[in-house]
């Protein structure tokens, strides 16, 4: 993919960030076995290896950590200080940097600067690859393919780093195979979902346009499917309404350890929109399947189960196992 050539002023900012990161981080960015780099407030730099798990690499002094954070903040025209002590941004596409997701905190909310740098998965695995690696059973493969081909709405849940995004990308790939010309709209806070469809529109939130605003715009853009990177707030209600009003086949991720927790979290998030009654019936009619993803040791992306919500009675949901 061709990337725009940065202006001279941008290039200087990119060069400074590149220098501030240091050789250890650059080596980690180029190592395909490593998918996350983390600096703790005590100065220890850790990496998350697919083969070996968490490994301490070196120590960074606070001056270098601050330099990295302020350099990236400057590229995005942000200010990070005691009054605004957090940063969420993407690294630029420059030399070893390839748009990785960067989250940082500085005092007073931490004792010393720290950050987490998550690499994007460049490869999109098909569902069949999950079967080959024993992350998915043959029966689960058939269930997921049927859900996709029948345009059912799928909620992918799991804890942080469980592999939700890579599983979602595999589902998207299957959706594209089912109809290469369908119009797909992708809504995200940060660009992580990958879609090879020929008719796709990807939109990102901004300081002024939140996910709720993107959802309302998406409904006016003749979507066949609306895919959402992750719901974290009241936009859950808008998503449920969109999926329930002539736009089936949606896929979305949510942080939750299992199907029961995922459904309850969707209700809790929808309630943040100011509802006085939990939208139980909307959830029952809209979310057709919950795919639970987890880690096993150092490996991620294992499909724990695929469930559908059957009933709601006496404040409890009952589930049926699909795969």
Write the pLDDT tens digit of every residue in 214-225. 999 999 999 999
CB 187 within 8 A of CB 229: yes
CB environment 203-226: b (16+ within 10 A), e (fewer): bebeeeeebbbbbeebbeeebbbb
Q: Encoding tokens for residue 108?
A: 């007073």
pLDDT of residue 2: 47
Residue 6, pLDDT above cutoff 80 = no
Domains and CATH numbers, the chain: 8-118 (3.30.450.90), 127-321 (3.40.50.300)
pLDDT at 41: 97
Residues 197/180, Cβ–Cβ less than 8 Å? yes
If pLDDT is split at 50, 70 and 90, which confidence band does 313 have?
Answer: confident
The answer to whether 130 touches 303, Cβ cutoff 8 Å, is yes
* Average pLDDT for 192-210: 92
Which carries the bigger pLDDT value, residue 3 or residue 207?
A: 207
Average pLDDT, the chain: 93
Give 245 or 78, the one with higher predicted confidence: 78
- The answer, yes or no, to whether residue 45 has pLDDT greater than 50, is yes
Q: How far apart are CA 199 and CA 232, in angstroms?
A: 27
The answer to whether 82 touches 88, Cβ cutoff 8 Å, is no
The answer to whether the bond into 108 is cis (omega within 30° of 0) is: yes
Q: Quick check: 307 and 321 in contact, CB under 8 A?
A: yes
Task: Give the model's confidence band at 210: pLDDT under 50 very low, under 70 low, under 90 confident, else very high.
Answer: very high
Give the length of the chain.
323
- The structure's pTM equals 0.84
- Band of pLDDT at residue 1, cut at 50, 70 and 90: very low
| Percentage of the residues of the chain whose pLDDT score is greater than 90 | 84
């Amino acid at each position: 993919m061709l990337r725009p050539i940065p202006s001279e002023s941008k290039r200087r900012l990119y060069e400074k960030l590149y220098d501030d990161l240091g050789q250890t981080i650059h080596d980690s960015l180029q190592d395909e076995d490593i998918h996350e780099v983390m600096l703790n407030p005590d100065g220890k730099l850790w990496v998350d290896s697919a083969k070996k798990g968490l490994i301490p690499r070196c120590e960074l002094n606070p001056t270098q950590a601050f330099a990295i954070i302020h350099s990236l903040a400057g590229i995005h025209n942000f200010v990070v200080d005691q009054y605004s002590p957090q940063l969420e941004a993407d690294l630029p596409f420059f030399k070893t940097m390839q748009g990785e997701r960067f989250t940082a905190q500085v005092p007073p909310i931490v004792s010393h600067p720290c950050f987490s740098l998550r690499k994007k998965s460049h490869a999109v695995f098909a569902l069949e690859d999950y079967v080959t690696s024993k992350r998915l059973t043959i029966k689960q493969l058939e269930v997921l393919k049927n859900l996709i081909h029948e345009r059912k709405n799928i909620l992918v849940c799991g804890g942080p780093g469980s592999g939700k995004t890579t599983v979602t990308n595999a589902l998207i790939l299957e959706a594209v195979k089912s109809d290469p010309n369908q119009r797909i709209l992708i809504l995200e806070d940060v660009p992580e979902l990958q879609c090879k469809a020929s008719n796709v529109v990807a939109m990102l939130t901004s300081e002024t346009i939140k996910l709720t605003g993107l959802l309302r715009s998406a409904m006016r853009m003749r979507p066949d499917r609306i895919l959402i990177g992750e719901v974290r707030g009241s936009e859950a209600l808008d998503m449920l309404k969109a999926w329930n009003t002539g736009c089936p086949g949606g896929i979305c991720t949510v942080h939750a350890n299992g199907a029961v927790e995922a459904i309850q979290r969707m209700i809790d998030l929808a309630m943040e929109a100011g509802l006085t009654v939990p939208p139980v019936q909307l959830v029952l009619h809209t979310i057709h399947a919950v795919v639970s993803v987890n880690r096993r040791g150092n490996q991620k992306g294992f499909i724990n189960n695929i469930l559908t919500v059957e009933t709601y009675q006496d404040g409890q949901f009952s589930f049926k196992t699909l795969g």
